[in-house]
Chains A and B, each alone.
Chain A
Amino acid sequence: MFDFLEKSSNIPIEYYMWLSGILFSIGVMGVLMRRNVIIMLMSIELMLNAVNLLFIAFATFLNDPKGQVFVFFIMLVAAAEVTVGLAILTLIYRNTKSVDIDFLKKLKG
């Protein structure tokens, strides 16, 4: 276990940045390309979690606990956001019987 921790601290910070960058991009593409609202919500979560990973990596890299504290704030806000998002989705489902975003095109002009 400790051996593993020691070895993992040898991984350069850029690797973590690449990983979270790729995860973030997957999230962005998911929001932009998918039409199912639940999957879009998941993609947004993926974006936020990619940022969480980056914060943790930086906090370890800089040896500074503030970044880890920020992750808790992000998790809290993400939970609140998803709650509201799912509630709005439930409303829409009641009115349209669908979770497809393409049903939502009443507002135009």
Chain B
Amino acid sequence: MSAIITLSVLGILVLYLGIFNFKKVLLPVILLGLTVAFVLLATNTGNVLAADMHMLVFDAPARAFGCLLILITAGVFCLTPGNMEYATKFRQDVFGLMIFSLIGGIMMISYGNLITLFLGIETLSIPLYVMVGSKRSDLKSNEAAMKYFLLGAFATGFLLLGIALIYGATGSFDFRVIAEQCLTLQGNVSSWFEIGVLLLLIGLSFKVSAAPFHFWAPDVYDGAPTIVTTYMSTVVKIAGFGALVRFTRGGFPDMHVFGQFTFILAILTMTIGNFVATQQKSIKRMLAYSSIAHAGYMLIAIHCSTNASLVNIFIYAFAYSLASLVMFGVFMAIADKYELADIDSFNGLSKKNPLVAICAAIALLSMAGIPITAGFFGKYYIFASAIDSNYFLIVIIAMLNSLVSLYYYLKLIIAMFFKEGSNDVSEKIPALHYFVIFGCTALNILIGLYPNNLMMLF
């Protein structure tokens, strides 16, 4: 709870710092505030008010996911120098909105009540609509904001209808009470309940851009300012999956009824994401489709809902967002200046900036799931626990999909290492950028070498 309060104060403080023209200290203040919130959340043991009401529950998984969200947000903030020129005047507004949106994310991964789930999703989304449209004179950014807003609000309607039906069937918003009701009624729960849960899952799938509810994702990722795209493809995705896994592991005994739904969702998401990504020329769109594909892999863990799903999704999300941060960092440093940033804009990176090229290659290999990177263990744990619970078909499809994904990841690596680039002088990359790129790569390999250490968080 104290972490959420700290972040709220930080957000307001950032807005005021902007008004009174202290723009030089914005970033240090934000990073300091995020550190404080991180420490408060990590050391949070007992809850005063929230635990009694069972509104927000900061148990071990919620703390782990929350710390991950704050860490990744700090990484996104470190990538802002040099990438916020479009908003020189309104920088503090975008920063403040990002912090408020993070609060929504933390609510989404720690909810114990459907009210806080709904409010968390909206607190995450509403600032995002503004952030996506923050490149105000750019029609592409406007269009992305409009699409995201309309589909987001549309999905909210379904989510709310789902909550209403669950409430009608069980008479409560509290997760414990709902689970108890399910147990006592033992299969005699009214059909409203099942429809409600299905609608709620549809609403959440919109947020994590799972196919067939993914149509907004590529357009929005493409049109939004790249720094916002980075935020969306990491923090929003983690928060969405945190909410999904909390929901499916929330003590509903009959969740296997919805196995069909998540099964179809997982397979469609992986396959569509990977196959369409191979066709993309623009790097941003390719990364968008690859992020849809990663959502598919994480949906496997949701589908074969076991006790290990939480930790499996955590490791996968950690690995994926580290790699994403590196890729978007490199992309912003090199290719963002082009109108259509296609794969050729990465040509000859290894000559110009070998260290960055190696980091990008490691990130791409991690996304593809090659050993000694964190991505390998992310995939390994999810597949292994799916096989343990006898879901062979979905694992085979996922394996084939990772092979397809190698194709477009390797295309980028080949462009970086084996193709001749133009001879223009490489631009100066800000120091914080290097910090994020190298830090995330180091963390990525560290997790790849000692994956068991993450398990201890749970």
Report the minimum CB–CB distance from B291 to chain A (whole Å).
Answer: 15
- Asked whether, in the complex, the Cβ of A88 is within 8 Å of the Cβ of B146, the reply is yes
- Asked whether, in the complex, the Cβ of A44 is within 8 Å of the Cβ of B167, the reply is no
Stretch at the interface among B215-223, B296-304, B313-321, B429-437: B215-223
Once bound together, how far apart are the Cα atoms of A106 and B129, in whole Å?
18
Contact of B147 among A24, A44, A64, A104 (CB under 8 A): A104
Q: For chain A residues 87-104, which have a beta carbon within 8 Å of chain B?
A: 87-89, 91-92, 95-96, 101, 104
Q: Does B247 contact A (CB under 8 A)?
A: no
> Which residues from chain A contact B156 at a C-beta distance below 8 Å?
48, 77, 81
> Which residues from chain A contact B130 at a C-beta distance below 8 Å?
84, 87-88
Please, how many residues of chain A have a CB less than 8 angstroms from a CB on the other chain? 43
Q: For chain B residues 102-137, which have a beta carbon within 8 Å of chain A?
A: 115, 118-119, 122, 126, 129-130, 133, 136-137
Q: Does A70 contact B (CB under 8 A)?
A: yes
Q: Does B278 contact A (CB under 8 A)?
A: no
B122, B144, B149, B218 interface centre (most CB from chain A within 10 Å): B149
Q: For chain B residues 134-163, which have a beta carbon within 8 Å of chain A?
A: 136-137, 139-140, 142-147, 149-150, 153-154, 156-157, 160-161, 163
24 intermolecular pairs with C-beta atoms under 8 Å apart: A24-B157, A31-B154, A44-B153, A47-B161, A48-B157, A48-B160, A61-B168, A62-B171, A66-B172, A70-B163, A70-B173, A74-B160, A77-B156, A80-B126, A81-B149, A81-B156, A85-B149, A88-B142, A88-B149, A89-B146, A95-B139, A104-B142, A106-B139, A107-B219
Residues of B within 8 A of A (CB): 115, 118-119, 122, 126, 129-130, 133, 136-137, 139-140, 142-147, 149-150, 153-154, 156-157, 160-161, 163-165, 167-168, 171-173, 218-219, 222-223, 280-282, 285
